[in-house]
Chains A and B, each alone.
Chain A
């Protein structure tokens, strides 16, 4: 009898499927092997949002792709608009008007702020602090109203940042409204910074990622900076007007979930600084080059290849675009930051933790399944 019990599988071992339809998790699952309360191993199960953008873009012209690029990441479409537009700009050797560069940066930073607000919201939800979730989604709506005013779409701007500049200039009252919304966001940040017992209890010392592991696993952005690495694409290879702006790169040494959450808040403050500076120095002039104002069909992209890197809210995003001289890109490789955060980094961090810590680690990585699956 005792021998039998020894050889039988342990009753405390079981499989748990985390996801794929939780309101905060997005369309993504992790298969956890659990022994009692402890996670033995984790395996990511992506693919729920695979739409094949890389292939779809090969069938379409840059103007159509500008609209398509919205959808790469649901939570920060304007940043992906910008990367796509920059890739086409560089291939076609377009000199983007100065005013358009400022507008692009303002929109990209507002998009980063709202994305970080969502991050705070889902992270709060993950650790059982529901007030944070509701607060975040309430305040995010102020920025969505701005997007509606400027681009016409609340979430998806429909290719507002397009090759050659931006689709249309700011309406007259935009500057004043942006400044008002920034005041609201400052209120939100004050609330976020309040001492929060659930945040301290659930996030501190959880999911520690050492800097050498982070680099090996391919982490970028807030995850890498939370582990103590001083890097930001906006500083390392400034695009648009970032080399003229004054902002800091927040860094934290601990590498735990709390450090990553703290980076998110600090980055919002820096983004607010950037938006204010850009609004102050906004030059007058055109917002789009003349031959893209009314886009002609069958514009040929000159032969060549470019690799464009940008810093989006989640980390390093990149587009590798190859053209063979036709009107559609020949190949468009999209590199999303979450492809690495959600597969190798998440699998590594979940190994050996307590089951109660899984949500805190999961949401501290600022994940978005859309740009992983593409």
Chain B
């Protein structure tokens, strides 16, 4: 294990209340509370994590939570830090990080708003990105079944030729 990973983890643990582990070389995973997120994000950006590689949502259906992950890369330290936070999945809302990582974060949040229905408070432009005229629920949620939707919307069980889709 490299020294810089342990140094970084000690540094952030002394400043904020976070759980963290070193997975392997150049990979650190942190989990934190949702209201600490912006504060930690600002500190990380100043610490050199200028590149927001990706933002993702994992839908933990049984637990009733959305897990939002921010994958950050530092060009100086050459380590990837993932910050994870859990929010309620029934009415998902979280503070936007677009004030920190600007346009980069803005576009990632716009995508996730469309696919998971997460409301990013403070993000000005959450206009749909990929799906035109989509009226249904957020399509990447675990409780939304594409196959059921397509069968219900586009096929007819009574029709001889389309029966096969219902077996």
Size category of the binding interface on chain B: 35 or more
Contact with A along B53-71 (1 / 0, CB 8 A): 1101011000000000101
| A344 adjacent to B146 (CB under 8 Å) | no
| B139 adjacent to A55 (CB under 8 Å) | yes
Interface size in chain A (residues, C-beta < 8 A): 33
| B58 adjacent to A47 (CB under 8 Å) | no
Known: A50-B131, A54-B140, A318-B71. A236 touches B53 (CB 8 A): no
| A318 adjacent to B54 (CB under 8 Å) | yes
| A307 adjacent to B71 (CB under 8 Å) | yes
Q: How far is the CA of A54 from the CA of B57 in the complex (A)?
A: 11
A208 to chain B minimum Cβ distance, whole angstroms, is 17
Q: Choose the segment among B36-44, B101-109, B152-160 that binds chain A (4+ C-beta atoms closer than 8 Å).
A: B101-109
| A237 adjacent to B78 (CB under 8 Å) | yes
Residues of A273-319 at the interface with B, using a CB-CB cut-off of 8 Å, are 305-307, 309, 316, 318
Contact with B along A222-250 (1 / 0, CB 8 A): 00000001010000110000000000000
Q: How far is the CA of A318 from the CA of B72 in the complex (A)?
A: 12
Most chain B CB inside 10 Å of its own CB: which residue of A46, A316, A340: A340
A218 on the B face (CB < 8 A): yes
| A237 adjacent to B26 (CB under 8 Å) | yes
Residues of B120-167 at the interface with A, using a CB-CB cut-off of 8 Å, are 129-132, 139-140, 146
- Report chain B residues within 8 Å CB of A215: 50-51, 75
| B80 adjacent to A307 (CB under 8 Å) | yes
- Report chain A residues within 8 Å CB of B58: 322, 330-331
- Report chain B residues within 8 Å CB of A46: 129-130
26 residue pairs of the A-B complex, CB under 8 angstroms, read A47-B130, A50-B131, A52-B139, A52-B146, A55-B139, A55-B140, A217-B102, A218-B51, A218-B52, A218-B103, A218-B104, A236-B78, A307-B53, A318-B54, A320-B56, A322-B58, A330-B58, A333-B54, A333-B56, A335-B53, A335-B54, A339-B107, A339-B111, A340-B104, A340-B107, A344-B107
